[in-house]
């Protein structure tokens, strides 16, 4: 099974666990962010065509801006651990 399939399976497992009430919303969110970090590491190694990169940039910008708005709204201090 390839890396993408493994990550997709983990997403499905997390979604199912959340749907069944086996994990908290906060844990679900944390695990999704962990998956995002793993996906970032994986994608950095890949040679995506410029057309795909161009297509993904608006999605990433929206997500990042929304998360920063949340951080700012709740007064969360960003720091490296």
What tokens appear for 57 in the block?
A: 């940039």
Q: What is the pLDDT of residue 76?
A: 85
Please check the confidence at residue 27 and state whether its pLDDT lies above 90: yes
- pTM over the 0.85 mark: no
Element (H, E) at 35: helix 25-45
Please report which confidence band the pLDDT of residue 80 belongs to, taking 50, 70 and 90 as the band edges. low
Residue 23: DSSP 8-state: S
Instruction: Say which residues have a Cβ less than 8 Å from residue 38's Cβ, sequence separation at least 6.
Output: 7
Q: Domain coordinates of the chain in residue numbers? A: 3-73
Q: What is the pLDDT of residue 55?
A: 95
Give the integer Cα–Cα distance in Å for 59 and 36: 13
Angle (nearest 5°) at CA 26 between 23 and 27: 45
Please report which confidence band the pLDDT of residue 81 belongs to, taking 50, 70 and 90 as the band edges. low
pLDDT tens digit sequence for 34-76: 999 999 998 888 888 999 999 999 999 999 999 999 988 898 8
Q: What is the pLDDT of residue 45?
A: 86
């Amino acid at each position: 099974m390839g890396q993408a399939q493994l990550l997709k399976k983990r997403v499905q497992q997390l979604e199912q666990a959340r749907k069944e009430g086996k994990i908290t919303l906060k844990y679900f969110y944390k695990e999704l962010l962990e998956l995002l970090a793993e996906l970032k590491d994986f994608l950095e190694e890949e040679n995506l065509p410029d057309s795909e990169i161009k297509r993904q940039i608006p999605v990433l910008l929206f997500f990042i801006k929304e998360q920063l708005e949340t951080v700012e709204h709740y007064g969360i201090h960003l720091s490296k651990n």
